[in-house]
Structure 1
Amino acid sequence: MQNRLEDLDFADDICMLSHRFQDAKEQTISLESTARQIGLLINPVKAKIMKINTAQTKKLQIRHKEVENIEEFTYLGSIISTTGGTDEDIKARKRKAQQAFAMLKPVWRSTTLRTSTKLRLFNSNVKSVLLYGSETWRETSASIKTLQVFLNRCLRNILGARWPDTISNKELWKRTKQEPIEITIRTRWKWIGHTLRKPT
């Protein structure tokens, strides 16, 4: 027997998943019926629907009001899009990490802070921002390269390694005690397995 995930719940947000339009319609009716029992109503203006890889043209309605169809939305900080890919989310995370790195420029340029301290700050304030939600990304060689190039550039900046001085990636990772980003992301995938194995 295989369990099927039909909804994602967080605080007052509900993301319902359906393979068929009829299922989506029935889920919406059931949700509204249950919500009414405790005095809540679904807001048809705030509710959105996103169709992925389908030619379905039927319109979902809530209390005779049409629910807006969208191309992408943000759920728990991650961008979900109709392409089914993760490029948009990776680009957004990279922009946020770039901003975090830029804000800490005085730290990277400091001559009083030890490199080990700078790297700890980098891991907690930049790398963590970049990899938020990475366990849900579809890994491609292009996406991994994009992330690795960004991280390498940041690490070289922290070490003060600038042209014409050269340092190989392996030597860079050794000095900064970092691992290839691909390994970091795959390690996070293991966390999902631990969660799924926990009792209900």
Structure 2
Amino acid sequence: MDVINGGVDLLPGERLLDLEYADDIVLLCDNAQGMQSALNQLAISVRRYGMCFAPSKCKVLLQDWQDSNPVLTLDGEQIEVVEKFVYLGSCISAGGGVNDEINSRIVKARAAYTNLGHLWSLRDASLAVKGRIYNASVRAVLLYSCETWPLRVEDVRRLSV
């Protein structure tokens, strides 16, 4: 994409414009003009392949922008500004913290634990087997993508299981 003022600084002389996975995309820009340019160019690019975006499914998350109330559009429709959104199963928040993500992970891990309730009461399953199932099914849900979290001491305490 040929985008004016698009992307964010990654390394000196290197800019990161987007993150892509399957049919999910995140555009990264450090100002409203660059973001609108990226949105326009993306809309043109996908039309070449007979595709289109659903603006109602698109969101804008502002982080350290000077203009905190930009009006960004995709195919003539205004895009909703949000404080957080879910991308590839992880909650991304405007402040960059992980509190919302940890809360979400705890809820999902509790649900995974509850769904396996029949297993926890089995007398025939050894504690070692239950432990392995717990680690694979519950703990894995709790700690999904934790490698990318900027944790504080209080966050680590909440996650200790």
**TM-score when scaled to structure 2?**
0.85
Structure 1, residues 149-184: CA drift from partner, whole Å, max 9, x if none? Answer: xx1xxxxxxxxxxxxxxxxxxxxxxxxxxxxxxxxx
Q: Within 1, Cα distance between the matches of 2:123 and 2:52?
A: 58
**Distance apart, 1:89 and its partner CA:** 0.5
Structure 1 residues 20 and 55, CA, compared in 2 at 3 Å: closer, same or farther? closer
- What is the alpha-carbon distance in structure 1 between the residues aligned to residue 148 and residue 62 of structure 2? 19
CA distance in 2, matches of 1:93, 1:123: 14
C-alpha separation in 2, matches of 1:135 and 1:126 = 17
The answer to whether the aligner puts 1:77 opposite 2:89 as a matched pair is yes
Report the CA distance between 1:124 and its aligned residue: 0.7
- Answer 1 or 2: higher relative contact order, Cα 8 Å, separation at least 6: 2
Matched, 1:20 2:31: yes
* Richer in helix (by share): 1
Distance change in 2, residues 1:38/1:142 (3 Å):
same
Query: Which amino acid in the other structure matches residue 68 of structure 1?
Result: E
Question: Unpaired runs of 5+ in structure 1?
Answer: 152-200
* Aligned residue number for residue 90 of structure 1: 102
* Structure 1 residue aligned with 2:42: 31
SS of corresponding position for 1:116:
helix
Uncovered stretches (5+) of structure 2, i.e. residues with no partner? 1-11
Aligned to 1:157: none
Q: Secondary structure at the match of 1:4?
A: strand
**Residue matched to 1:132:** 144
Number of residue-to-residue matches in the alignment: 149
Does residue 48 in structure 1 map to residue 69 in structure 2?
Answer: no
Structure with greater strand percent: 2
State the AA in 1 paired with 2:44. Answer: S
Give 1:104-183 correspondences, 5 Å limit.
104-148=116-160, 151=161
Q: Percent identity?
A: 32
CA shift for structure 1 position 44: 2.2
Aligned partner of residue 25 in structure 2, secondary structure: strand
- Cα distance change on mapping 1:94 and 1:26 into 2, 3 Å: same
SS of the aligned residue for 1:83 comes to: coil
User: Which residue number in structure 1 is paired with residue 111 of structure 2?
Assistant: 99
Q: Kindly report the root-mean-square deviation, in angstroms, between the aligned alpha carbons of the 2 structures.
A: 1.6
Which is further off, 24-33 or 106-115? Answer: 106-115
User: Partners of 1:101 and 1:63 in 2: how far apart?
Assistant: 44
Partner Cα separation in structure 1 for residue 33 and residue 155 of structure 2: 36
Q: Does 1:58 align with 2:70?
A: yes
Structure 2 distance, partners of 1:58, 1:105, is 48
Shift of the alpha carbon at 1:136? Answer: 1.8
